[in-house]
Structure 1
Amino acid sequence: MNNILLIEHSLSDKSDLGQQLSEQGYSVHRVNNAFDALVYMETTQLEAILLDYSVPKMDSFWLLVTRKPSTAIIVLADSRCELERINALELGADDYLAKPINIRELQLRLNVLHRRLQAPMNDNFNHDISFDDTIYTIRFAEKSLVLTQTEYRLFKYLFDRQGEVITKQELQRRVLHKELGRFDRNLDMHISNTRRKLVKRNLPRELINTVRGQGYSFNF
């Protein structure tokens, strides 16, 4: 990996993490806001993005993330909170690390994400997806993906309505069979788990697309 974009809350002091990455041979570009981050994303060939979760007003950054599936994104946070981790993954992050950051672990995770995202995919794969309702298995691009019952039903529901934006409220009612509570993250957790399983099978996680502030959609 070469170019790393490091999005931090403050640029007033030399970043210890940025310095450590530079010492390991990475070219580190540091910014502290969404606008500058988007400029780098559009003008620089980035291998990975490291985002401090405390940086405010990053909505525009996450909107663009959905259109940049080849760039690995790791969220760096002070908290080991499970809900925060799920939220970061649901927004579009590929990984989550709690501080203090171990530079060796970070390097290994960057390498793993690089291999996953650079894994060759057949550009002419068959868009046909088959479903096995008895064992909750999806067959796609000559690969099988085994899901839990809830993950399978969510995937199939979105697939049947592909191209449409399905609200979280509808998915909660139709698939989970209950109303969506204000602090209910079960739906997001199931979607996040499904995306991780897609990545592990070298299938595109962007099949299930987040539509910010609205819900989810299925798109090839």
Structure 2
Amino acid sequence: MKQRILIVDDDPGIVAAITPSLKAQGYDIAVAHDGDRALALFTQFAPDLVLLDLVMPSVHGIAVCQQIRQQSSTPIIVVSVKGAEADIVTALDNGADDYLVKPFRLRELLARIRAVLRRGRSEQTVIQCADLVIDTSRRLVQRQGQIVSLTPIEYAVLAELVTHRNGVVTARQIVQRVWGPQYIDSTDYVKGVIRRLRVKLEPDPSHPRYILTEPHVGYRFNHSE
């Protein structure tokens, strides 16, 4: 069964440039040129991945990202001309899994799509800490008996911390293992994901119990609780 990609972009040139190549790679494609249509198509088309522009008519891309995240963990790659650090961090904090600045090389886009779609692989194990249960064999996370919905990138980062739970993992190591070596200097990606994980998993995100920061070193998963 073909994997489905929803392209959300009001620039017909971008859509025309990438659609044939994505189809040639075996993906099934749907296109929305504004935010309202994107949200409608998301429900109808049920994509495996969303390529999302930020500045669009009707609904801004960040709002689209937020609304998708309220109902789904489907991977989202933001593709935008806005390349400032603040724009990238805002998108990641609001649920985006990756961020690509226009103009971009088609080969890089295809590589990022493949990377996002295959993320989250880890050793098979079950870790229980107080009211938190992480079952990597089933890719299942529960808190107080309730399933926690994580995006693929959130799960991938958590899986890295759990896999290396007996030590500290640096932000650069997480970036390299989850995003790939070409992102080695993009450590802000990790900060945004860690913030989101703490909101979803910690009893008190401002005083984390499970995902600890080791100052000037990295992060550690505390499984002794």
Q: Give your verdict on TM over 0.5.
A: yes
1:76, distance to aligned residue in structure 2 (A): 0.7
1:140, distance to aligned residue in structure 2 (A): 7.2
CA distance in 1, matches of 2:105, 2:93: 24
State yes or no: 1:110 paired with 2:89: no
1:93, distance to aligned residue in structure 2 (A): 0.6
CA distance in 1, matches of 2:65, 2:46: 18
What's the RMSD between the two structures over aligned residues? 3.8
Question: What is the letter of the counterpart of residue 99 of structure 1?
Answer: K
Which residue does 2:80 correspond to in 1? 77
8 A Cα contact 1:126 1:141, kept in partner:
no
8 A Cα contact 2:3 2:28, kept in partner:
yes
Question: What is the letter of the counterpart of residue 193 of structure 1?
Answer: V
8 A Cα contact 1:22 1:28, kept in partner:
yes
Q: What is the total number of aligned residue pairs between the two structures?
A: 157
TM-score for both structures, normalised by structure 1: 0.55
CA distance in 1, matches of 2:86, 2:15: 30
CA distance in 2, matches of 1:64, 1:141: 29
Q: 1:206 to 1:31 in 2, by over 3 A?
A: same
1:14, distance to aligned residue in structure 2 (A): 5.8
Which residue does 2:50 correspond to in 1? 49
CA distance in 1, matches of 2:125, 2:36: 32
- Which protein, 1 or 2, shows the higher relative CO under an 8 Å CA cutoff with sep ≥ 6? 1
State yes or no: 1:63 paired with 2:60: no
Which residue does 2:197 correspond to in 1? 207
State yes or no: 1:194 paired with 2:198: no
8 A Cα contact 2:81 2:101, kept in partner:
yes
Q: 1:51 to 1:142 in 2, by over 3 A?
A: closer
What residue ranges of structure 2 are gaps of 5+ in the alignment? 133-159, 171-185, 211-225
TM-score for both structures, normalised by structure 2: 0.54
What residue ranges of structure 1 are gaps of 5+ in the alignment? 130-138, 149-188, 199-204, 211-215
Which residue does 1:4 correspond to in 2? 5
Question: What is the letter of the counterpart of residue 191 of structure 2?
Answer: T
Secondary structure at the aligned position of 1:64 is classed as helix
